Amino acid sequence: NAGVTQTPKFQVLKTGQSMTLQCAQDMNHEYMSWYRQDPGMGLRLIHYSVGAGITDQGEVPNGYNVSRSTTEDFPLRLLSAAPSQTSVYFCASSSPSQGYEQYFGPGTRLTVT
Amino acid sequence: AQRVTQPEKLLSVFKGAPVELKCNYSYSGSPELFWYVQYSRQRLQLLLRHISRESIKGFTADLNKGETSFHLKKPFAQEEDSAMYYCALRRSGNQFYFGTGTSLTVIP
């Protein structure tokens, strides 16, 4: 099993550009989440999903969109990138049957200039 | 508001010394708490959870509801324990609140 995979690993955007961060998991987990990691701020929940077709906002959803059309995939979209979105982004998946243990991807380092 | 506080950003201890990483939380319901660890060049991974009441890699953590704390402890630190540690609270479903993290350095 590959677990949770994220692409790309690194990305540089200019202000106003759009992009999609990809996340996929092969563990058949019902739950998936997106976090951003910033120095001194820890991990903050952006959006999460409890199943295909169901998404909800976390702590810091502004500027981001998500969708969950399949159990495996949970892409994060930045519609108009801003320098404040410079961060490391982590995707995670979990299942209630495994005690909600979060399985994290390797992260995407995004820089917005 | 549900929050997790880790007061120490950096913590250095000598090899063989005891280590304690502090975590305090505020939550109106029944808390479910976790410790996650990120070793250099590795993914963030679960270290332990309070429900399991287990010891992982010599680490233990006890939930103290009176003090609203979930401190992580190890009696004898090892060099391989150097890592970033995050305390996390599961609010409901898949909603997790993470602390700001503590970077532990074990000095040889």
pLDDT at res. B2: 60
Contact A41 B100 (CB under 8 A): yes
pLDDT in tens, chain A (113 residues): 789 999 999 999 999 999 999 999 999 999 999 999 998 889 999 999 999 999 999 999 999 999 999 999 999 999 999 999 999 999 999 999 988 899 999 999 999 99
pLDDT at res. B1: 59
pLDDT at res. A80: 96
CA distance B106 to B79: 5
pLDDT at res. B50: 85
Residues of B with Cβ-Cβ distance to A97 under 8 angstroms = none
CA distance B44 to B37: 6
Contact B46 A31 (CB under 8 A): no
The dihedral through the CA atoms of A78, A80, A85, A86 has a sign that is positive
pLDDT at res. B27: 87
pLDDT at res. B60: 93
Would an 8 Å CB–CB cutoff place B46 in contact with chain A? yes
Q: Which residues of chain B have pLDDT under 70?
A: 1-2
Q: Is the preceding omega at residue A8 within 30 degrees of 0, hence cis?
A: yes
Taking alpha carbons only, the member of B41, B40, B35, B42 closest to residue B58 is: B35
Q: Which amino acid makes up residue A67?
A: S
Would an 8 Å CB–CB cutoff place B98 in contact with chain A? yes
Choose, out of A25, A71, A102, the residue to mutate when testing the contact with B (most B CBs < 10 Å).
Answer: A102
Which residue is closest to A6 within chain B, CA to CA? B43
Residues of B with Cβ-Cβ distance to A48 under 8 angstroms = 93-95
Contact A101 B9 (CB under 8 A): no
Residues of B with Cβ-Cβ distance to A61 under 8 angstroms = none
SS3 of chain A: the string is CCCEEEECCEEEECCCCCEEEEEEECCCCCEEEEEEEECCCEEEEEEEEEECCEEEECCCCCCEEECCCCCCECCEEECCCCHHHCEEEEEEEECHHHCCCCEECCCEEEEEC
Exposed (0-12), middle (13-18) or buried (19+): which is B19, by Cβ within 10 Å? buried
